[in-house]
Amino acid sequence: MRIIPAIDIIDGKCVRLTKGDYNTKKIYNENPLEVAKEFEAAGIEYLHVVDLDGAKASEIINYKVLEQIASKTNLKIDFGGGLKSDKDLEIAFNSGANQITGGSIAVKNRAVFEGWISTYGAQKIILGADFYPDTSGGKIATNGWQEESSLELIPFIKDYQQKGIQYVICTDISKDGMLQGPSFEVYKQILKESAISSGVENALKLIASGGISSFEELPRLAENGCEGVIIGKAIYENKISLKQLTNFILNN
């Protein structure tokens, strides 16, 4: 299972939110490159960068931060937040993104998102499935989690799996930034149902996100079958140390 630390950007600074609420913004570092270099020094290879300004504005904003991290580290970066047009995508890849994540666009403009999958391939395009939990499993959220759609989580993922999507970042918004543990059961259910409908040739690479609070949760997510895990506040609040992550990477 890949370890993928998160850097969320507002005004060019490294921040974290709670449940996606911009009013809860906490700045952890004025220089995201510094943070990225610390991750790389710990043996981490992957990074999840979210342009929170872009998510709100519905267009890429903080691509200069992406460019700086990509040019001054060897981290493989997946980048998301506000990518809505072919031009946004071009800017993200030209700025050094290894993969991009599309969430709102996958809900609101399927033709464009499916075009990205076709043009760039399933290795480059990640489906962002951010959801508000409810009795039916969850409803997909859009626009920096400011809006809730009528689409249900698992059918949404399975539908795009049929279109060729392999990588999915799934975030339980109710747990994001809460340090109360991830949605183990939801991830198990997604992997179970997607396996039934897909077969081995298009097995889902599910990346868990939201609520990670302790190192002990990581082996459990790996056992569940998650391909990766995004860790944010747990690192910044010293609930999980970089040394623990280094050891996990070395031993897995």
Catalytic residue among 51, 53, 88, 130: 130
CA distance 101 to 116: 11
CA distance 27 to 14: 6
| Residue owning tokens 């991750």 | 39
CA distance 49 to 144: 14
176 catalytically annotated? no
130 catalytically annotated? yes
Structure tokens, 44? 């981490």
Q: Burial code of 92-108, b = ≥16 C-beta within 10 A, e = fewer?
A: bbebbbbbbbbbbbbbe
CA distance 226 to 229: 7
Any idea what DSSP says for residue 202?
Answer: G
Catalytic residue among 8, 51, 78, 176: 8
Q: Which residues are catalytic?
A: 8, 130
